[in-house]
Amino acid sequence: MSDARPRPEPFIPRTDPATLDDLRARLRATRWPDAPEDAGWSLGTDVARLRDLTAYWADGFDWTAQEAALARLPRFRVRLGGLGIHFVHARAVAPAGPVLPLVLSHGWPDSFWRYSKVVPLLTDPGAHGADPADAFDVVVPDMPGYGYSDRPTGPPLDSVAVAGLWAGLMDVLGYERFGAAGGDMGSHVSRYLALDHSDRVVAVHRTDAGLPVFTGDPADLTAEERDWFDDVAAWSVSEGAYGAMHRTRPQTAGVGLNDSPAGLAAWIVEKLRAWSDCGGDVERSFTRDEILTNVTLYWLTGTITSSMRMYHANAAIPPERLTRRVEVPSGFSLFRGDVVRPPRAWLERTANVVHVSEPPRGGHFAPFEEPQLYAEELRAFFRPYRAAVG
């Protein structure tokens, strides 16, 4: 009998030089807006800083070198649910015990890029000063409509559907049981993997708990939780305009962002700065080349609009799905510089919490900002669950 499972194919993209020439021409022809004197970042992206960054993008940034660096990761594409899914699949190097498969789910505004620094630390811990017994087989997919995965042509997929795709992907790769981890949108996906595939997920690790949804009596909340709800509401007023646009009118914003590379950079870089542990200077958390690698991935794949549509899909998930409690063993690493960090009481209300830590550095993009710390968090959390797949 033939094996009817989809077969992953190696994937190494090579950008047409003409596409890069077009990008540079568009950057040089940017029609820049005015800005009030000394506005800085107070009204959104600092236009002066962005002009400097885009000048480097046009005349100094070497995408070909960055593309070659990303190609050192073992990358594949496979057909799942009618979509071509791009993913990294890196196997453990010289393991000294049971190898735990681990699927890592990214968020917005990024892709598999979020985990590009941490993959070797997880697959080959012995080469990075850690215990070889903590090696993982690592799978990092691009969500549909992000990176090099296909863009859905019909209704956008929500986090529940993506979790189902990831369960299918792990089946294709031969992993019956595995761990799941993620942040931002990837935290949602990891949560639904644990909820809907609890027979396969041995434990789930998240760097946030998402924005809170509570349908019970507010009097049942602790004072700490009520204070946190107030903080989230204040954050949504000051920071949440992007999310409202994504949920309601992604196509409107997409016309400009997909046409103007400077506009695309403005939309993404502002969030890299606001959500990272950079103290107000984005280049403390990311080099210019790292920033532009992320933004260029969005430009070349044309995925800014499709990535935003996932917010629209997630907004339609029924409240009864959003408030289900995760019973799979759950761990949280709440990095110091992340946004809307939840209290322990909320975590325990919503999940079977077995581990909570507060690393001293790192923000919303912790796997990229602080890959060593993030790898240590995953090694420590998943260590007790290796026997479940051994």
Contact 63, 21 (CB under 8 A): no
Contact 173, 150 (CB under 8 A): no
According to the model, what pLDDT value does residue 1 have? 37
Residue 371: which of 125, 178, 171 has the closest Cα? Answer: 125
CATH of domain 45-384: 3.40.50.1820
Give the Cα separation of 254 and 237 in Å (integer): 22
* Per-domain residue ranges of the chain: 45-384
Which residue among 46, 110, 142, 184 is the active-site one? 184
Catalytic residue at 364? yes
215-220 LR contacts (CB < 8 Å, sep 24+): 215/319, 215/320, 215/323
Catalytic residue at 3? no
Q: Which pTM does this prediction carry?
A: 0.96
Contact 370, 119 (CB under 8 A): no
Which residue among 311, 338, 374, 385 is the active-site one? 311
Q: What pairs with residue 265 in β-bridges?
A: none
Give the Cα separation of 225 and 221 in Å (integer): 6
Cβ atoms within 10 Å, residue 222: 13
Residue type at 239? E
Catalytic residue at 62? no
Which residue among 148, 192, 364, 385 is the active-site one? 364
**Tens-level pLDDT at each residue, the chain (390 residues):** 346 789 999 999 999 999 999 999 999 999 999 999 999 999 999 999 999 999 999 999 999 999 999 999 999 999 999 999 999 999 999 888 899 999 999 999 999 999 999 999 999 999 999 999 999 999 999 999 999 999 999 999 999 999 999 999 999 999 999 999 999 999 999 999 999 999 999 999 999 999 999 999 999 999 999 999 999 999 999 999 999 999 999 999 999 999 999 999 999 999 999 999 999 999 999 999 999 999 999 999 999 999 999 999 999 999 999 999 999 999 999 999 999 999 999 999 999 999 999 999 999 999 999 999 999 999 999 999 998 886
Residue given tokens 């979509």 in the structure block = 83
According to the model, what pLDDT value does residue 2 have? 44
